[in-house]
């Protein structure tokens, strides 16, 4: 495994992408050059200050490539992300990454990405890469309402893939949960990232239909690199395992799912 890189990165651009949602491009060629879709970075402001985010916050790499910036899809949630959303071009953040396990995508079958909310982030990166390799990607993307939807033009611009959008109230795209977009009979491999209830539903469906599924989980983190044991999820065998190093992407069969 490669050691993570610590890098003070400049905000090259931060732009509003939807309600309380921002697209952030950070100048970090070293991390961008190494990151794989599904990996994440810890984003902090350094030890000089103690206001939230005092601890760095984990974010999926939303786009990256050699010599490129690291793109993040940032949604305001609590005090830490609210402050990060107030960053301006030219500000600097302290990055640690790339961290964790990436999605593994085999070349012989197309993938279906199931994104809930900012769970979209890793799939932007993944879709862009797959498209560059000329492969098919089906991207299902769900939000609660239209004002939360990351612009589908921007998604196409960034990835070359047109998302299939679901909103709970039907205010954009199809009405309903993103789950409705899954065609269990004909899907090859599923990848999912989003809120835990969504992951649970997808996992149930995958198990039921015997479909391979990789999920990216979210747990509170301390260090991001495996030392603090803060970020555990329950493994299929009932152990607490670290989502920062053994995840955040897991084969759904490695984890225990409530029944």
Partner 1 sequence: MADLTQRLFGTQWQSPVLLASGTCGYGEEYAELIPLDEIGGIVTKAVSLEPRSGNPPHRVSETPGGMINAIGLQNVGLAAFIREKLPWLRDNLVRARVLINVVGHTEDEFEAVVAGLDGEDGFLGFEINVSCPNVKDGTLFGTDPAGLAGLVATLRRATARPLVVKLTPNVPDIGLYARICEENGADGLSTINTFPGMLIDVGKRRPVIGNVSGGVSGPAILPMGVYLTWRARQSSSLPILGIGGIRSSDDALQYILAGASLVQIGTALFVDPEVAVAVHRGVEAYCTESETPLRELVGGVQIPDRD
Ligand X SMILES: Cc1cc2nc3c(=O)[nH]c(=O)nc-3n(C[C@H](O)[C@H](O)[C@H](O)COP(=O)(O)OP(=O)(O)OC[C@H]3O[C@@H](n4cnc5c(N)ncnc54)[C@H](O)[C@@H]3O)c2cc1C
Ligand Y SMILES: Cc1cc2nc3c(=O)[nH]c(=O)nc-3n(C[C@H](O)[C@H](O)[C@H](O)COP(=O)(O)O)c2cc1C
| Binding of ligand X by 44 (CB under 6 A) | no
Residue in 228, 251, 253, 256 binding partner 1, rule: CB under 8 A? 228
| Binding of ligand X by 192 (CB under 6 A) | no
Rounded distance between C-alpha atoms, residue 89 and residue 83, angstroms: 14
At closest approach, how far in Å is the CB of 27 from ligand Y?
31
Of 171-210, binders to ligand Y (CB under 6 A) are none
- DSSP code string of 96-165: EEEESBPP---TTS-EEEEEEGGGGHHHHHHHHHHHHTT--EEEEEEESSGGGSPPHHHHHHHHS---EE
Which one of the spans 48-56, 96-104, 116-124, 230-238 is the region binding its own copies (CB under 8 A)?
A: 48-56
At closest approach, how far in Å is the CB of 56 from ligand X?
8
Are 21 and 118 in contact, with CB atoms under 8 Å apart? yes
At closest approach, how far in Å is the CB of 241 from ligand FES?
10
| Binding of ligand Y by 222 (CB under 6 A) | yes
3-state secondary structure of 10: strand
| Binding of ligand FES by 231 (CB under 6 A) | yes
Residue in 6, 78, 79, 227 binding its own copies, rule: CB under 8 A? 79
Q: How many angstroms separate the Cα of 123 from the Cα of each of 89, 135, 141, 181, 253?
A: 25, 14, 10, 16, 21
| Binding of ligand Y by 228 (CB under 6 A) | yes
**In 3D, which of 109, 138, 117, 116 has the Cα closest to residue 126?**
138
Residue in 112, 201, 202, 221 binding ligand FES, rule: CB under 6 A? 221
Task: Give the single-character DSSP code of 39.
Answer: B
Point out which residues bind ligand FES (CB under 6 A). 221-224, 226-231, 242, 244
């Amino acid at each position: 495994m490669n050691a993570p890189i610590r890098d003070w990165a400049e905000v090259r651009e931060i732009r509003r992408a939807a309600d309380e949602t921002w697209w952030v491009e950070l100048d970090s060629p070293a991390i961008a050059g190494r990151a794989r879709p599904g990996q994440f970075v810890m984003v902090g402001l350094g030890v000089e200050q103690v206001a939230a985010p005092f601890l760095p916050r984990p974010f999926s790499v939303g786009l990256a490539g050699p010599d490129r910036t690291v793109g993040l899809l940032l949604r305001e949630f609590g005090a830490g992300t609210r402050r990060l959303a107030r960053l301006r071009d030219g500000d600097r953040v302290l990055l640690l990454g790339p961290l964790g396990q990436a999605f593994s995508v085999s070349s012989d079958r197309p993938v279906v990405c199931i994104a809930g909310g900012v769970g979209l982030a890793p799939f932007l990166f993944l879709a862009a890469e797959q498209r560059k390799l000329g492969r098919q990607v089906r991207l299902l993307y769900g939000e609660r309402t239209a004002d939360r939807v990351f612009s589908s033009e921007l998604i196409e611009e960034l990835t070359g893939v047109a998302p299939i959008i679901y909103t709970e109230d039907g205010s954009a795209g199809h009405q309903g949960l993103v789950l409705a977009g899954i065609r269990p009979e004909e899907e090859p491999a599923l990848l999912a990232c989003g809120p835990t209830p969504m992951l649970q539903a997808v996992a149930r469906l995958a198990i039921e239909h015997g479909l391979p599924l990789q999920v990216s989980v979210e747990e509170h983190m301390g260090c991001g690199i495996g030392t603090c044991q803060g970020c555990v999820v329950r493994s299929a065998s009932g152990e607490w395992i670290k989502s920062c190093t053994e995840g955040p992407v897991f084969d759904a069969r490695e984890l225990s799912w409530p029944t």
